[in-house]
Amino acid sequence: MEKINDRLLNWASILEDNTRQQAERTASMPFIWPHLALMPDAHLGMGATVGSVIPTEGAIIPAAVGVDIGCGMMAVRTQFTASDLAGRDLAVLHDQISRSVPLSAGHNNKSVRETAAPRVGELRAMPGANQADGAVHAWPLQLGSLGSGNHFIEVSLDEADRVWLFLHSGSRGVGNKLAQKHIKVAQEQCRRRHIQLPDRDLAYLVEGEPEFDAYIEALRWAQRFAYLNREEMMDRVVDQTGRFLGTEVERVEVINCHHNYTEREKHFGREVWLSRKGAISAREGQWGLIPGSMGTASYVVVGKGNVPSLMSSPHGAGRNFSRSAARKRFARKDLDARMAGIAWGHSDAFLDEHPDAYKPIDQVMADADDLVEVRHTLRQIVNVKGD
């Protein structure tokens, strides 16, 4: 761990100058307490750095959570092993999952499925549902859809060749619209008060005011949507895996965790609003998931409860190159070679997800050694993504 200053601690051994400067700007905000923690996968984000843990008192920065509210991971360890997959064409399983879960931005379900109906009912009964209706009226059709970018569904094997089902997604278009709305409200509030910000995306809402309460309501709704969205997708992946193998899947272990979210937490004896933007909670004994990039290892971990880190850990590999830079830098032939042995989409659309567009996951995990303990190392054999 590196102490950059009294308000900024850093666990990243790979830290670009512009990322450090961005984190310093965020840490300088007067309501940050006691300090901002930069995780090993830290990289440039909107307003606040992706891979940062931001404790605040009396205020929240909506852009510090980001536009994919509640984004996170879910994993299920099954009873199957690699031997159960021997001789089977995994491209068939890839296609089954791709047909069952809508992929790519803007692609939703045509109707609310039977498994999704009770989840939609729960969300309709929650405070914040009216805001969701106003943002995206058809949000129930988004429940159980993946999206694009670095969101994925994978079938993986662990160190004992046990089969895991693994996925990454968040609150989809409805969460994005809710976030954008409240980011704009925060910017307008700061303009109205003539507050000079080091970055307009560090605009904040003040606790005790109706705009703050409205954001918290929308935030909690979107975080629950994201959690249930992962559950709904996992139900479909479990179903398709069972169909593929001809045997019902047993869920031996289940983990579902956010990595873009805000909660009320107690640290250093005081209650704060803790925003994790690209970070997971890693309290002592708490299970979590840290995916690598496309074609690399992912990790099932247990938190060590590291106090200076605000009991947090990285959420993944962290980008080395922007999407546009990656598309210019990497070749399809090299991506094909890196994905050898994995059933995947075989498309140029995934060049921006090339493994080298991200930091080396091994280095990120080495940097996180005092934050989490690795319990399982997963290697993917099926990778499903939206373009």
SS3 of 6, please? Answer: coil
Model pLDDT, residue 185 = 98
Peptide bond into 34 cis (omega under 30): yes
| Cα–Cα distance, 72 to 124 (Å, whole number) | 22
Residues facing residue 256 across a β-bridge: 74
Residue carrying structure tokens 């300088």: 28
pLDDT averaged per 10 residues in sequence order, the chain, 387 residues = 97 96 97 98 92 98 95 98 97 98 93 96 98 97 95 97 98 97 97 95 97 98 98 98 98 97 98 98 98 92 98 93 89 90 89 89 96 97 93
Number of domains the chain contains: 1
Structure tokens at 159: 């160190």
Provide the domain limits for residue 235: 2-385
- Give the separation between CA 37 and CA 12, rounded to whole angstroms: 10
Q: Which of 94, 182, 258, 315 is catalytic?
A: 315
107 is catalytic: no
Give pLDDT tens digits for 118-139: 999 999 999 999 999 999 999 9
Assess contact for 310 and 376: CB atoms under 8 A: no
Task: Please state, in angstroms and rounded to a whole number, the distance separating the CA atoms of residues 175 and 155.
Answer: 26
Q: Which residue has the tokens 């003040």?
A: 206
Task: Dig out the tokens for 59 from the structure.
Answer: 């205020």
Domain CATH for 151: 3.90.1860.10
Residue 352: closest CA among 325, 378, 373, 333: 325
pLDDT of residue 387: 83
Is residue 312 within 8 Å of residue 39, measured between CB atoms?
A: yes
Structure tokens at 245: 């193998």
